Amino acid sequence: MTTTDTVSAAAPPADPPPQPLTTRDGIPLKVSLMRALRREKMRAMLLIAPLLLFILLTFAAPIADMLFRSVENGIVSNTLPRTVEALADWDETSGEAPGEPVFAALHADLLIATEKKTHTRLGSRLNYEASGMSSLFRKTGRRAGRMDEAEPFKAQFIDIDDKWGEIDTWQVLKTFSPPLTSGYFLNAVDMELTPGGIEMKPESERVYLFLFARTLFLSLTIMGCCLLLGYPVAYLLAALPARTSNLLMILVLLPFWTSLLVRTSAWKVLLQQQGVINDFLVWTGIVSDAGRLVMINNQTGTIIAMTHILLPFMILPLYSVMKTISPSYVRAAKSLGATDWTAFWRVYFPQTVPGIGAGSILVFILSIGYYITPELVGGTSGIFISNRIAYHISSSLNWGLAAALGVLLLAAVLLLFYVYDKIVGIDNVKLG
Amino acid sequence: MTESRGAAVRYENVQKSYDGETLVVKNLNLDIPPGEFLTMLGPSGSGKTTCLMMLAGFEPATHGEIFLNDSPINNVPPHKRGIGMVFQNYALFPHMSVAENLAFPLQVRGMGKAEQEEKVKRALDMVELGGFGSRRPAQLSGGQQQRVAVARALVFDPELVLMDEPLGALDKQLREQMQYEIKHIHENIGVSIVYVTHDQTEALTMSDRVAVFNDGVIQQLSTPDELYENPQNSFVAQFIGENNKLSGTVTEVSGTDCKVRLDDGTELAAEAVNIEGVGSRTTISLRPERVEFDTDQSMDNLVKGSIEEMIYLGDHIRVRMNVAGNTEFIVKVRNRGQRRDLRTGQTVEIGWAASDCKALDAVA
C-alpha cells in the first residue's frame, strides 16, 4: 500500500502510464507485492507443516498403500519366477498339463522358496482363488527337497499330489502370475477371473454385492431416522429460551459422555427377547409371552442402536443452521397470510436445507463405515460391509480383498457426494 | 386523491405481562381512525413494540381487547388478520427472488398467476424497483431491501400496515429519503399505518399523530407540533426535541399562569400545565431556541447567566450557560451575523416569554 501511494504521489502528472507500475527503485509492483506476501505465506505454511506431515504419513500414505494393495499381486512371480517364465509357453486351452520344463522350473523355485519359507505364503494367497492350494504347497514344499533330480519331475510332483497333474491348478497359477491383478476387485463384486474370462460367481458364493446394497440401504434408513427424530429436537434447541435450550443441549450431548460400548451393550439389555422392553410389553399384555419381539441381532437392532449413536451428528449441524434463522421470517410469512404449515414449509424449511445436507452427509458417511455396533447388535442380518472388511483385515488376513472392498466403499461415497453436489449443491452444506 | 380505505384500530384496556410479575403494557386505550399514520414513539423497553406485536397477533394480550374495524381480533391468528407488516431487518425470504417474495402473500391467498404478476409489477413500480424482480434480496442494497419490504407489506392491499423500526438499519441520508417515500406512499394509497420507532425526528416527520410511550403507558398522544409545543409532562418535554430543565417550587397560580421560585431563589413566570398547586415541586421546561439574548424589559422572564461554552454549528450557535445553578442550560442563537460579541466567561442577561416555559411535573 505504502509503495503505491508513494509512486502515485511522486509520479509527474504529465507522465502517461502505459507501462506496468513499479516501485520507486524500479522493481515491478507485482514482484514486489509477491515478495512482501511470500514471508506471510511461508509463515502460514510452517504453522500447518506438522499437521500436513502427520496427515501425509498417517492418512494419505496408508490410503495410497491400500489402493495399491487391492491390485498388487507380485507374490506369484516373486516366489516362482522360473515357473512363471516357463508357463508363458504353455497353452492353458490345450487341455493338457504343462510339460517337463515347467515342472523342472517349479522344482528349482520351490527349493529356494522352502528355504525362505515363502511357499506357504504363496499357498495361502492362491487359496483365496482356489481352495486346496494352501495345503498343496505345504505338502509339496515338505517333500521338494527329497526329490530325485535324475528322474522326470512331472511324475514325482503328481506322485506327491494328483493336483499337479490337473489342469485347473496350473490355470490358477498362470492366471495369477502377472504382478497386477483385478482378482481382488472382481472378488469384491462377486465375480471371478476364470481361464474363460470374467464371470459371476456361483449364486451360493455371492456375498459382497448384497452386503454393499444392505450397507447402503441401512445407512440411508439410519440417516432418515436421524433426520426425522433430530429435526424437531434441533428446532426446539434453536427456538427455546437460552436456559432451557442449554439443558436440552446437555441432554443431546450426554451420549457422547459415555462409551460407545456401554451404550451399545445397554441396547442389548433393552432390546433382547428377555430384555426390558419385551418384559414390559408382555407385562402390559401387548404381546404374548410366546410372541416376544425380536429386536436385536437383526437389522432392527442395528437401525435402533446406530440411530441413537449418530443422532447428535444430525442435531448439531441442524441446530447451528436453525440458530441463524431469525424468527421474524416465520412471523413475516404469517403476517403475509401464510398458515403455520405454509410458513414452515415455504419459508422455514428451505432455509434449513443446508443443515439437513450437512447432517445427512455426516450421518451417512459415519454409518456406512461403522462396524462396532453392527457387530455387537446386528447378528448376521444386520452387519455391514465394514464388518467383512474388518474380518478380512484381522481374521482371514486377505488384505488385498479388504483393500478392494475399502476402495469400492470409498468410490461409492465419492459417487454419492458427486450426485449430491449435482442435485443439492455442495455449497449448500453448512456446518455452522 | 385519498379516499381512505384504511382500517380502524382500537385498543381497549389492554395489558400485557410476560412473566406475571411486571406489566410491560399498563392499561392501554388507543383509538386509531381509518387512514391515520400513527407512530408509537418511546425509548427501548417502553412497551411500544409489544403493542405492535399484539396488534399483529404474535403476542397475546394478557388482558383487554383489540378491535380491528370494530371486530375483536384477540382470537384471530396472525395470518387471518390481513395486516401487512414491515420488520426491523426486513425479513425478506433469502431463498426467494424479489418477485417471489412479493408474490408470496398473493400465492397463499390463492390468486391467479396473471393477477399475481400484475400486482407484483405494480408494487415494484410503486417503490421504483421495476427491473429488480429476478434478483435475490442479498443482491440488493439496504435501501432497496427496505423498499421491497414495504412493497411486500402492501402488495396484497391490506387496510393496515405495521412497521417495526423499519429504517433502523439505514444510514442517515437514506433514512431521511425513505421517511418521505413512506409518507408519500401513505398519502397516495391511504392505508392506516402504525409505525414504531425510537427516533423522534422520524416520528415528527412522518406521523399524523404520535403516541409517546414510557414505562408501558402512553404519556401523550398528539400531533407532532402539539407534542413539541405543548408537552404534557416532563418525560415528553425531555424526549421530544431539546429541552432545558429548571427545578423549583410553585408559589402562585392564577388560571394558566403561575409563578415558580427556582432553588436558587430566582422567580419565573410560567405557564401552568401539569402542577399540583401552590407549594408543590415542579420542573420548568424551556426550548433552547426560545431564549433571547436581545432582551428588553417587557419580557416576562429576565435572568442573568454566565457563558460556559460556545459551539459554532454553522446555521446556529449553541451556547452552554450556567443559569440559576443549572450548568447545562443551552441557548441556540440563530446565526444572523449579529451577536458575535458573546465570549466564554461573560455574564449576560437572557430573557423569554412566560408562554414558552411550561411548568410540568417534578422530576426526581
Q: What domains are there in chain B, each with its CATH number?
A: 9-234 (3.40.50.300), 244-361 (2.40.50.100)
> Are residues A149 and A215 both part of a single domain?
no
Spatial contact of A216 and A412, defined as CB atoms under 8 Å apart: yes
Residue A73: all three cell numbers together: 499381486
Range 90-129 of B in CB contact (< 8 A) with A? 91, 93-95, 104-105, 108-109
Considering CB atoms only, which of A328, A335, A342 is closest to B78?
A335
Instruction: Tally C-beta pairs within 8 A across A and B.
Output: 65
**What average pLDDT score do residues A288-314 get?**
89
Nearest residue in chain B measured CA to CA from A339:
B79
Whole-angstrom Cα distance, residue A260 to residue A306? 10
Nearest residue in chain A measured CA to CA from B55:
A335
Spatial contact of B342 and B307, defined as CB atoms under 8 Å apart: yes
Q: Which pLDDT score, from 0 to 100, does residue A237 have? A: 93
pLDDT band at A358 (very low <50, low <70, confident <90, very high): confident
pLDDT band at A226 (very low <50, low <70, confident <90, very high): very high
Is A336 within 8 Å of B84 when comparing Cβ atoms? yes
- Residue A1, pLDDT > 60, answer no
Q: Which pLDDT score, from 0 to 100, does residue A72 have? A: 87
Q: Which pLDDT score, from 0 to 100, does residue A53 have? A: 93
> Are residues A251 and A371 both part of a single domain?
yes
> Are residues A214 and A319 both part of a single domain?
yes
For residue A122, the enclosing domain spans 75-181
> Are residues A45 and A102 both part of a single domain?
no
Q: Which pLDDT score, from 0 to 100, does residue A18 have? A: 63
Q: Which pLDDT score, from 0 to 100, does residue B137 have? A: 93
Amino acid at A137: F
- Would you say residue A188 lies in a domain? no
> Strand runs (DSSP E) across A92-229, as ranges?
191-194, 197-200
Of A166-180, A230-244, B39-53, the range with the lowest mean pLDDT is A166-180
A344: chain B residues, CB-CB within 8 Å: none
Strand-strand pairing, B347-352 and B301-312: antiparallel
B108: chain A residues, CB-CB within 8 Å: 336-339, 342
- Would you say residue A14 lies in a domain? no
**What average pLDDT score do residues A205-230 get?**
92
State what percent of residues in chain A have pLDDT above 70.
94
* H-only helix segments in A128-207: 133-144, 153-160, 167-175, 183-188
Contacts of A22 (CB under 8 A, 6+ apart): A7, A28, A29
> Are residues A121 and A232 both part of a single domain?
no
- Residue A274, pLDDT > 90, answer no
A349: chain B residues, CB-CB within 8 Å: none
In terms of C-beta density within 10 A (0-12 exposed, 13-18 middle, 19 or more buried), how is residue A150 classed? exposed
- Would you say residue A161 lies in a domain? yes
DSSP three-state, residue A179: coil
B83: chain A residues, CB-CB within 8 Å: 335
**Which of B170, B18, B173, B163 has its CA nearest to residue A328?**
B163
Is A346 within 8 Å of B104 when comparing Cβ atoms? yes
Whole-angstrom Cα distance, residue A176 to residue A193? 9
User: How far off is chain A from B214, nearest CA to CA, in Å?
Assistant: 25
**Phi, psi for residue B312 in degrees, rounded to 5:** -85, 120
**What average pLDDT score do residues A409-425 get?**
84
The answer to whether residue A38 neighbours chain B at the CB level (below 8 Å) is no
Is B89 within 8 Å of A326 when comparing Cβ atoms? yes
Q: Which pLDDT score, from 0 to 100, does residue A416 have? A: 84
pLDDT band at A319 (very low <50, low <70, confident <90, very high): very high
Is B91 within 8 Å of A326 when comparing Cβ atoms? yes
Domain boundary among A162, A181, A200: A181
Query: Radius of gyration (Cα) for chain A, nearest Å?
Result: 33
Q: What CA–CA distances, in Å, run from A179 to A67, A68, A139, B105, B182?
A: 15, 12, 25, 69, 80
- Would you say residue A12 lies in a domain? no
Whole-angstrom Cα distance, residue A282 to residue A300? 19
State what percent of residues in chain A have pLDDT above 90.
25
The answer to whether residue A333 neighbours chain B at the CB level (below 8 Å) is yes
Amino acid at A191: M
Whole-angstrom Cα distance, residue B12 to residue A266? 59
> Are residues A142 and A174 both part of a single domain?
yes
> Are residues A229 and A343 both part of a single domain?
yes
A350: chain B residues, CB-CB within 8 Å: 95
**What average pLDDT score do residues A290-316 get?**
90
- Would you say residue A200 lies in a domain? no
The answer to whether residue A339 neighbours chain B at the CB level (below 8 Å) is yes
Spatial contact of A156 and A148, defined as CB atoms under 8 Å apart: yes
Whole-angstrom Cα distance, residue A77 to residue A247? 65
Whole-angstrom Cα distance, residue B164 to residue B53? 9
B78: chain A residues, CB-CB within 8 Å: 331, 334-335
- Residue A303, pLDDT > 80, answer yes
**What average pLDDT score do residues A134-151 get?**
85
- Residue A344 is given by DSSP the state I
Q: Which pLDDT score, from 0 to 100, does residue A215 have? A: 92
A425 vs A56, residue with greater confidence: A56
Residues of chain B with pLDDT under 70: 1-5, 338-340, 364
The predicted-structure confidence for A375-412, as pLDDT tens digits, reads as follows 888 888 888 899 989 999 898 888 888 999 999 988 98
- Would you say residue A86 lies in a domain? yes
> Are residues A136 and A269 both part of a single domain?
no
Q: Which pLDDT score, from 0 to 100, does residue A6 have? A: 43
A335: chain B residues, CB-CB within 8 Å: 56-57, 78-79, 81, 83-85, 153, 162
Domain count along chain A: 3
> Are residues A41 and A86 both part of a single domain?
no
- Would you say residue A376 lies in a domain? yes
Q: Which pLDDT score, from 0 to 100, does residue B114 have? A: 93
> Are residues A405 and A271 both part of a single domain?
yes
Note every long-range contact of A117-126, with CB atoms under 8 Å and residues 24 or more positions apart, other chains counting. A118/A78, A118/A79, A119/A79, A121/A75, A121/A79, A122/A75, A122/A76, A122/A79, A122/A80, A124/A397, A125/A75, A125/A76, A125/A176, A126/A76, A126/A172, A126/A173, A126/A176
Domain boundary among A45, A65, A85: A65
Whole-angstrom Cα distance, residue B308 to residue B333? 15
Is B85 within 8 Å of A331 when comparing Cβ atoms? yes
> Are residues A335 and A372 both part of a single domain?
yes
DSSP three-state, residue B218: strand
Q: What CA–CA distances, in Å, run from B219 to A181, A275, A431, B12?
A: 89, 69, 48, 16
- Would you say residue A195 lies in a domain? no
Nearest residue in chain A measured CA to CA from B162:
A335
Q: Residue A406 belongs to a domain with what CATH number?
A: 1.10.3720.10
Nearest residue in chain A measured CA to CA from B56:
A335
Considering CB atoms only, which of A335, A340, A346 is closest to B84?
A335
> Are residues A86 and A43 both part of a single domain?
no
Q: What sign does the CA torsion over A340, B66, B202, B321 have? A: negative
Considering CB atoms only, which of A329, A337, A340 is closest to B156?
A337
Q: Which pLDDT score, from 0 to 100, does residue B339 have? A: 59
The predicted-structure confidence for A11-37, as pLDDT tens digits, reads as follows 445 555 566 777 788 788 888 888 889
ipTM > 0.90 for the complex: no
